A and B are shown apart, each in its own frame.
Chain A
């Protein structure tokens, strides 16, 4: 990841949307009460969800929400990359493919038929993939949704022309900082906190439940060790597969581990057959 290029006085900001729920864009409209301040520091030239003002590029910074899931998306993201000096993916869809990447394990034609009576009207790709699978990305903001504090930090960094500072550790560190008793150790709940990037503030364990990986894989995660620990303490493999296959399912580390567990499960079942 690189620092953004030195920005002009009022950088031109554009926000683009692909397959997503709009929740990360909504965080921009929240921005801890700093929305109007942000609107003054940037020229918001393309942000369809919030403004009819729509000016052509090039833009100084482009925020991209959503995953690539249709043939038209593929062409559009290349065009957008060409228009943006500094391209940032916001959220789990843009960064990892999102919850809709669950279709990547199934046959997309089958999916469309299940939802639409006349699937031939619906142009869709077999996969939902992150932006970085198609074009180079300069920075990624993780989360489902992204954290407002990290978003404000990103925009501030763009204005002053430095690299954004986001936490480089895993959710466990946030639980310790918050004083949350570990749900995995104390209550035997399988939790992805040890392998998930920080940013949420350790939200789920603070609500007596497992982390399900909104912010995607953290630095050097040891998935095999963690799932081995949970299996040793009685969690069935299929439950761990589902835990990994949530909003960050298609992120490399989570995907490889859920595939490995699923393969082991299938092998074990085959062996059990007489």
Chain B
């Protein structure tokens, strides 16, 4: 079909076989019916399943943080902290406030590095019509370079606390294997202060990007932070709240949210249901927009002012998510600088000892992409007998498909590559981590297998 012809004919099918600039392997399949209605929208995951929940069974409690880190190389800390929190709840371990602070600092470092990768290397190119972050320096000198320095600072903080940035080795059930060096943490304060200002400067830049308008009605769900704006407190059982007024203890998550398997994907779809319902459910949103809409007033002062200047309240448009991530980078730098200044002595004890006992525990933290929920059963020998992990991207999958259904009619008249590009941009607004989404548990399936997807 010639270019001219493709511009006038309606798009019949949009296939993005290898979705680029996301973590993991996914694809998008859309079929448009003869009358122009959107018939099939599948944001499919073909990331091979790795069966983490099964391979955790029979492992000793203390081995769990190292294993679950391997679910995601982009947000291993969130996995480690969610697992530690759940196992500590099962074992009756209470962390000291000093250990809680170091964990929040560790999570802040991960937010910084993960968000910086997404904003500068993966997402900004969409607004500039470029193929990758590598091409941005020629267009916007300094923008990506500063972004990479922010990422670098996040990585250095991860190294000081966890030993290395990807798959930290220092996170232990009960605290840390070795007390992080307070002088090294304090030594990063000037970099953390620079990072906050650099994030705010980058926010000014992205706020000038031409941005599509795509307001939707979202129910945002997030973990309520006990202190500050980062939901990483392992000290008390966290609560899970939503913009629709839901407010439940962490352990009640499975009675309000169900995972359903669909045939086109190794990821499960997570839906918000009424307790006791065996079918149905509605998509919901987790991640930066949900957090901002729920907890804008918890942001540290400078990040709060920047949010008020650049992001409407409530924010209902995922194309604004690049701004929200920069607000969160600034907030994480600001909180991290405050926490780092307070690190005067090595934490002692660095790890709370425990005696294995039969127990069950759950915990949730906010990974950069959204709510991450873990639950473990352990036996008297300290071995895991059951594990359930609900990652943020599985929770967003149904919401992404709902967005695509609403978004597609507006791009159908465009040439297919352009329509596909815009759909990809929409998906990248969620910063989907497909490696994470490709392995978790079960539950009800109320959807028959779909027929053949292609004519």
Contact = CB atoms under 8 A, between A and B. Distances in A.
Interface stretch (B67-75, B244-252, B322-330): B67-75
Given A23-B166, A51-B21, A51-B134, A99 B55 contact: yes
A114 B117 CA distance: 34
B305 to A, nearest CB: 30
A49 B134 contact: no
A265 interface: no
A239 B58 CA distance: 11
Q: How large is the interface on A (under 10, 10 to 19, 20 to 34, 35 or more residues)?
A: 35 or more
Contacts, number: 192
A21 B70 contact: yes
A201 B272 CA distance: 46
Given A103-B55, A208-B177, A239-B60, A118 B121 contact: no
Contacts of A110: 54
Among A72, A73, A203, max chain B CB count under 10 A is at: A203
B124 interface: no
A204 to B, nearest CB: 5
Contacts of B444: 117
A116 B261 contact: yes
Complex A-B, nearest 7 residue pairs according to Cβ-Cβ distance, in ascending order: A23-B73, A51-B132, A21-B73, A19-B48, A100-B50, A52-B20, A39-B134
B283 interface: no
Interface of A: 17-27, 29-30, 33, 35-36, 39, 44, 47-54, 66, 69-70, 72-73, 98-100, 102-103, 106, 110-112, 114-118, 121-122, 124, 128, 144-145, 200, 203-204, 206-209, 212, 214, 239, 242, 246-247
Contacts of A117: 261, 442-445
Contacts of A24: 73, 166
A36 B144 contact: yes
A87 to B, nearest CB: 19
Given A54-B20, A111-B51, A206-B163, 20 more contacts: A18-B48, A19-B47, A36-B134, A36-B137, A53-B131, A54-B18, A73-B48, A99-B50, A99-B70, A114-B53, A116-B442, A117-B442, A122-B49, A145-B164, A203-B169, A209-B169, A212-B66, A246-B63, A247-B66, A247-B70
A21 B51 contact: no
A34 to B, nearest CB: 10
B145 interface: yes
A30 B53 contact: no
Given A114-B51, A207-B177, A242-B59, A36 B145 contact: yes
Question: What's the dominant secondary structure at chain B's contact region?
Answer: loop
Contacts of B102: none
B70 A121 contact: no
Nearest to B54: A114
Contacts of A27: 166
Nearest to A27: B166
Among B25, B121, B441, max chain A CB count under 10 A is at: B25
Nearest to B176: A207
A36 B148 contact: yes
Nearest to B262: A121
A229 to B, nearest CB: 21
B435 interface: yes
Contacts of A53: 131-132
Contact of A22 (B49, B134, B264, B435): B435
A69 B167 contact: no
A52 B53 CA distance: 32
A244 to B, nearest CB: 12
Contacts of A207: 163, 169-170, 177-178
Contacts of B395: none
Nearest to B117: A29
Interface in B143-193: 144-145, 148-149, 151-152, 155, 163-167, 169-170, 172, 177-178
Contact of B165 (A30, A48, A72, A209): A30
A144 B73 CA distance: 9
A19 B438 CA distance: 10
A18 B169 CA distance: 24
B440 interface: yes
Interface in B429-455: 433, 435, 439-445, 449
Contacts of B163: 203-204, 206-207
A17 B25 contact: yes
Contacts of A50: 20-21, 121-122, 132-134
Among A20, A21, A54, max chain B CB count under 10 A is at: A21
A163 to B, nearest CB: 26
Contacts of B21: 48-52
Interface string B5-45: 00000000000001111111100000000000000000000
B369 to A, nearest CB: 13
A110 B20 CA distance: 32
Contact of B70 (A29, A30, A144, A203): A144
19 contacts: A21-B72, A23-B70, A29-B121, A30-B152, A30-B155, A30-B165, A36-B134, A36-B144, A66-B48, A103-B51, A110-B54, A111-B54, A114-B54, A115-B53, A117-B444, A121-B263, A207-B169, A209-B170, A242-B60
A121 B261 contact: yes
Contacts of A49: 20-23
